[in-house]
């Protein structure tokens, strides 16, 4: 499904009665799977936007801004967030 099709399907589901839902379980399942896929893609894209690392006070170490794990590379090894060490 394309994004606009998923959104249209979600709109139609919100207007369904209980009887409509019982009649169309495959439609509901396919729409839910497509919606989950879009949400997952959005999450993965957000992980690719570099976030500035957090400096840990009193220690010469840096942490991931998302999960607060110690980091020393381009990506957090724990959550996969892309990191920025810029000014």
Query: CB atoms < 10 A from the CB of 86, how many?
Result: 7
Q: Is the pLDDT of residue 60 over 70?
A: no
Q: Is the pLDDT of residue 46 over 70?
A: yes
CA 67 to CA 37: how far, in whole Å?
Answer: 23
Predicted structure pTM score: 0.58
Nearest-10 crossing angle of helices 3-14, 25-47: 130
């Amino acid at each position: 499904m394309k994004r606009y099709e998923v959104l249209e399907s979600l709109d139609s589901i919100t207007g369904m009665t209980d009887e409509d839902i019982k009649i169309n379980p495959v439609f509901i399942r396919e729409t839910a799977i497509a919606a989950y896929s879009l949400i997952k893609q959005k999450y993965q894209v957000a992980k690719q936007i570099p976030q500035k690392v957090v400096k840990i006070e009193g220690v010469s170490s840096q942490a991931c801004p998302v999960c607060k794990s110690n980091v020393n590379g381009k990506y957090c090894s724990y959550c996969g967030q892309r990191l920025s060490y810029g000014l």
